[in-house]
Structure 1
């Protein structure tokens, strides 16, 4: 299994997180103030150098006046093709494994 840090879904996640901030017309420094963190931390998260756990994500989204459900729906919509492709590959592997037998 490949590292999720360097995957397309993670790139989409980071892009969406940045897009939410920008759609609210917030600079990194503005978000940092709302979070009580440094601008450097915001930059590290958006560049993928630092990861957020789910509880941190909820706080970040709240600081941008966005909720986790809305964000998750947007992320899912952005990743639908990736999710479908992953499922097709999984089904193909299962079929191939079934042909080989015990």
Structure 2
């Protein structure tokens, strides 16, 4: 089984996070700061070099102004559309 960071599903999740960050009008720096993390945190997340656990993902959703369950539903919908799910 390939590592999660190499699965196409991970690319879908990262794309959604970036889309929602931009829709919220936030920079990577602003997101990182709101989470109390180093400046590079969001860059690492969006590039796929840093993985998020469920608690971190929930915290990020709060910063982005989206619900975790909504993000998951959107994620599942994207996977269904591209045949990955």
TM-score (norm 2): 0.91
Q: CA deviation at 1:5?
A: 1.1
Q: How many residues align?
A: 83
Aligned to 1:59: 59
1:14-49, Cα deviation, whole Å (9 max, x unpaired): 111111101111111111121111220111111010
Q: Structure 2: how far apart are the matches of 1:34 and 1:41? A: 11
Task: Considering Cα pairs closer than 8 Å and 6+ residues apart, tell me whether 1 or 2 has the greater RCO.
Answer: 2
- Structure 1 alignment gaps of length 5 or more: 84-102
Q: CA deviation at 1:6?
A: 0.6
Structure 1 runs (4+) deviating above 3 angstroms are none
Q: Structure 2: how far apart are the matches of 1:75 and 1:21? A: 15
RMSD over aligned CA atoms reads 0.9
- Structure 2 alignment gaps of length 5 or more: none
Aligned to 2:20: 20
Aligned to 1:79: 79
